[in-house]
Each structure stands twice: as structure tokens, then as C-alpha cells.
A = this chain, B = another copy of it.
Amino acid sequence: MLKRTSAIQSFLKCSSNLTPQYTAEKYALKRGDYGALTQDDQNHLISLVNGKGIVGEKELEGYNVDWMRIVRGKSELLLKPETTQQVSSILKFCHSKNIAVVPQGGNTGLVGGSVPVFDEVILNTSLMNKVEKIDPVSGVVVAQAGCILDQLNSELAEHKLMMPLDLGAKGSCQLGGNISTNAGGLRLLRYGSLRGNVLGMEAVLADGTIVDCMQTLRKDNTGYDIKQHFIGSEGTLGIITKASVLCAALPSSVNLAFLSVNAFADVRRLFSRARDDLGEILSAFEFIDNSCLVCLEENLKLTPPVDQSPFAVVIETHGSNSTHDFEKLEAFLESVMNDGTVIDGCVAEDSQKATNWWQLRERMAESLMHDGYVYKYDVSVPLDKFYELVTVMRERLGEKVLRCVGYGHVGDSNLHINITTPAYSKEVDQLIEPFIFEWVSQVNGSISAEHGIGFKKTQFLHLSKSAEAIAQMRLLKNAMDPKNILNPYKVLPLL
């Protein structure tokens, strides 16, 4: 499968002229009252990682800007620790000197959570990439935070195991980043969330304290589950250095079907049917609207294996018995084609074809960026209102935009809605926000299904979270990082 690293290269070619729109200046943000990094501090910090650091804003360009190249900070120091002890020493020092730190994994996030806002020191985990243990009996992997998802999967495959999550960025995203953003991805409906699959964790607190919760057992009800603090808190409460994860069995039988559907009501019905008929073998149910398919063809020359139609659906099964799985899939497809739910469809005969078809879904983000500027939204919307948001936004934006497309994980009520223009347009931006978030809030959706809050969405958090829940977030942040040196300006609304 195409790795996001190549997607990044391809993207950089087509969008090197983009100017980051999300900077401290945009919000007239004032730098927090942090210590200034002296030459002595720099030297000391670099010595803590045996020289494995980079100095200078220019030298750090790739690390100061996010993957989409629309969020940018101005850090002058990046550190690449190799051990938990080094992470602890760095934070202990920064804490004592009141220096702000931004943790950074693969930097594939889409809400600006992994780049600095001002001059925070970047603590990059890419050298913490050791797989410490794979236990084929329990199916548990113990690995450092910097392990790349794809590489982890390669090692696990030798033991007939795989990570319980899969996402487009797998070629560059790291385990620590996955966990700290509570990554969901393509197969959550089958393998569940990281909150259940992360069995143990080691993390370093703001003051350098190492918290060891490295359990590898499925059941452990001994007091509060402290590791949950670090799942999904985007590096604002601590830095994850290691984790143990319950893997899934590598399926011996994988099937992929690509289907054409006429209306979104049919997509919804198809999902209910797939859940009933495919039952325990259903592993993904993704949809792509026709505007997406047009974009893939125009920008990446990728064509779908079926005739164009309003909606395409990708259904995947993972199972342990290929005869049984194929029988289930065949009966299901026959039934939904006979009753007209599906108008056209095909099943991949080999894994190469399956890989090619997955690219239509996985390279969507890349494909859109070729248009110029992408306004990217990742929301949860109850299925009865799901696609309405795309229609509403299209009407609202009309000719002012190039495209307004919808795709995503129907099985998780997770819609990716993306809007493109040749270059950033403030008018379009203001037509979209806060309207889109308010719309989602009104239908009891979530303004961030899986991307998180990061830097870009803090001011909209109240639309998905009650005031009392936000107050509890602040309480926790103040208790765990009273100096607010860990990933400041992120997740929590600025006061």
C-alpha cells in the first residue's frame, strides 16, 4: 500500500507555495510566560540526547509545519531522545526552567497538535523505535512510542498478528502519536478502540516523573486506570514513551467488495444489511461520494472498478475460513443486488486488486490537496443526518469553492467532509466556520470524530463538550501540568 511518506512527497511537489493559515498571528495569540531558551539551555538539552538534536528555525522547517502545511510554529530546537530516561531528563530540565515543550511523533496529525505554536522545544520520538517484545500466545506487543505503525505491522505479521488499528497515515504515523490522539481509522468497527486495546503504558509527566503502568494483561482492575489520561489527550498531560497493545489475529481470509449505490439512504440500508449478513467477519464499511471519485480521477488518475454512481461503498471482511467468508459475502451481495440496494459491484480477486481499490479510499486526502487549499473536517454525525451535511455545505458555498466532498467510515458514523479552493480564501473560511461545527452540534454529533482538537479546534470545543466536562479537563490539566509546559495552546480553549 502507498505509504503516506510518498503521499507527503507527492503533496510537497504540488503545494510548496501554500502559506500556513493557522499561526499564532491568526488568533492574535500571546506567547505564554515561558523562559527564553538560552544558548546554555540549548547546549545542555542537546547533551541530554547525546547530540541528537537540530538547532535553528530554518533547519527545523519540516518540523515546524504540519503535514497539511497550514499550521506553523517557530521552534529553534528539536530533540530526538532514544530512551525514556532521556525524555525524563529533558522534561525535568524544561520544567525547572519553565520551558514549553511540544511532543511530536510522525507529524501526520490534521489539527496542528504536533507542531509548535511559538518557540516550544520539539521533543521528537522518531528514534524511540524499538519493538521490545511480541508474545504470540497472548497477542501482546510491547513497543516504544516512536515505532511506525506500518513497520510494527510488518514485524507482527511474522507472528500472524496485526495492530488493532489501521489508518491512511500508517507509513509515517507512530504508536505514541496514535495513542495520544486516540486514533480510530478504518477498522474500529471490528477491532474496537485504543481505550480497550492499549493494555499498558509508560509515560513521562511534565516534571520528568516516569509513570510505569506497563501491564500486559487484559484484565487489571487495580485502582484508577491512569494510562487513560494519556490516551487522546494529545500530549498535554504527559509524553507516552512505551506501550503494550493487544493485537488482533492476522486474518487468513480477506475479501474486498467495491459497490455502486444510488442514494445515501441505500448506503445506510446497505450498512444495516452488511452488519446482519456478514456479522462477525465485517471489518470495514467505507463510503466515498461521487465528487471524491471525480477528484481521484482528475488529480491522481485513479479510477474506480465500477461505473460512476452517486456513492461508492467499500466493504471488507476479515475471517478465519475463506470458504465460509466467501459464501457469506456472495449471499449478501446477491441479495443486495437483487433487491436494488446496490446497482453495480465487484469483488477483488487478488490482493493486488484489493490494494489498488483501497488506494481510492486511502489517497483521498492526498488527492484533494492537489486542488490547492483544503478545508478539512472530521465529524461524527448520526446516520440519519449523515450525508445531509455535505448537501448543506454545497448549497452554502456554491461556486465559491472547487469541490465539497464527503467520504468516511459509515460503520462509525464518521464523516470526512472536505472543501477545496485554489488558494486559501478568508471568505470561504468564514462561511464554513463556525457554521459547520454548530450544525454538527445541533444534530448531537461530534466536531472531531478522530482527528482531535489540537491547535485548530480549541475555540469550538464547547460545541461538543459541556461546560462541566471542560471544567473537569482544566482541573486535570492544572493538577498534572500546573506550569502548562506540555503542548501549550492545544486542546483546552484558551482563556
Contacts and interface: CB of A to CB of B under 8 A. Distances in A.
A137 B445 CA distance: 16
Interface in A466-481: 466, 468-473, 475-480
A39 interface: no
Contact of A446 (B219, B280, B471): B219
Given A221-B450, A279-B319, 8 more contacts: A182-B225, A184-B219, A188-B219, A215-B446, A216-B382, A225-B231, A324-B328, A476-B479
A219 B182 CA distance: 9
A226 to B, nearest CB: 5
A470 B224 CA distance: 8
A217 interface: yes
Interface in A249-271: 249, 251, 268
B324 A217 contact: no
The 9 closest A-B pairs by CB, nearest first: A279-B320, A196-B196, A219-B449, A220-B446, A217-B380, A222-B464, A324-B324, A228-B228, A195-B195
Interface in A181-229: 181-182, 184, 188-189, 192-193, 195-197, 205, 209-213, 215-226, 228-229
A327 interface: yes
Interface residues of A, number: 91
Given A192-B196, A226-B469, A217 B445 contact: yes
A211 B324 contact: no
Contacts of A233: 223-224
B138 A217 contact: no
Interface string A303-328: 00000000000000011110010011
A255 B268 CA distance: 31
Interface of A: 137-138, 181-182, 184, 188-189, 192-193, 195-197, 205, 209-213, 215-226, 228-229, 231-233, 237, 249, 251, 268, 272, 275-281, 318-321, 324, 327-328, 380, 382-384, 409, 412-414, 444-453, 457, 461, 464-466, 468-473, 475-480, 491-492
A282 to B, nearest CB: 9
A198 to B, nearest CB: 9
A461 B382 CA distance: 42
11 contacts: A209-B468, A213-B465, A216-B444, A219-B380, A219-B449, A223-B461, A224-B232, A224-B472, A225-B232, A472-B480, A476-B479
A472 B216 contact: no
A383 B138 contact: yes
A473 B224 contact: yes
A280 B319 contact: yes
A296 to B, nearest CB: 24
Given A196-B196, A219-B414, A472 B229 contact: yes
Contacts of A452: 221
Nearest to A445: B217
A380 B218 contact: yes
A279 B160 CA distance: 12
B280 A222 contact: no
A226 B448 contact: no
A451 B220 CA distance: 9
Contacts of A478: 479
Nearest to A475: B479
Contacts of A249: 275-276, 279
Given A209-B468, A222-B461, A476-B476, A413 B217 contact: yes
A85 to B, nearest CB: 14
B320 A280 contact: yes
A268 B224 CA distance: 30
Contact of A281 (B280, B318, B414): B280
A278 B195 contact: no
Nearest to A408: B219
A255 to B, nearest CB: 13
A117 to B, nearest CB: 17
B212 A466 contact: yes
A444 B192 CA distance: 26
